[in-house]
Amino acid sequence: MAAVETSCSVCELTIAVHMFATCDSCGKAYHLNQRTDLPGADCGQVWINEEHLGLEFACDPCLNPPEAEGNLDDILDLGEAAQAVGMSEGWISDAATSGELRHRRTSSGVFLFERRDVLAYAQGRK
């Protein structure tokens, strides 16, 4: 019976038989060199779970997930936006109301900004 070639979910290269592992988190295949006498790079890790006394497998993206886009910490109110760029709240609100700075306004009138927009606007104004 011929072996089916599997690609690594991390680096997308073919996985040799001695390097095949499956991530317990996402269920995808990745490189894990399980032999010390053969060369190979790892695209994840394996360790002993001390609570269950069993091996746990995880690929690098599951171990170190990229930061989520649109993190709540990146949404600033008027005071936070002014503090982030070292300018007055008046300067920031004037830029928003004139359409120069992208923003949202809540039903109660509070200005909300994305951090990247405020920083980019301030860079362009200096």
**CB 32 within 8 Å of CB 57:** yes
Cβ atoms within 10 Å of 122's Cβ, excluding its own: 19
What is the spatial distance between Cα 125 and Cα 64, in angstroms, rounded to a whole number? Answer: 36
**CB 27 within 8 Å of CB 62:** no
Asked if pLDDT for residue 108 goes beyond 50, the answer is yes
15-47 pLDDT, tens digit per residue, is 988 899 999 999 999 999 988 888 888 999 999
The pTM score is 0.51
What is the spatial distance between Cα 3 and Cα 14, in angstroms, rounded to a whole number? Answer: 12
38-85 pLDDT, tens digit per residue, is 888 899 999 998 888 899 999 999 998 876 556 677 899 999 999 988
Give all domains of the chain, ordered by start, each with its CATH number: 17-63 (no CATH), 72-125 (1.10.1660.10)
Residue % of the chain over a pLDDT of 90? 57
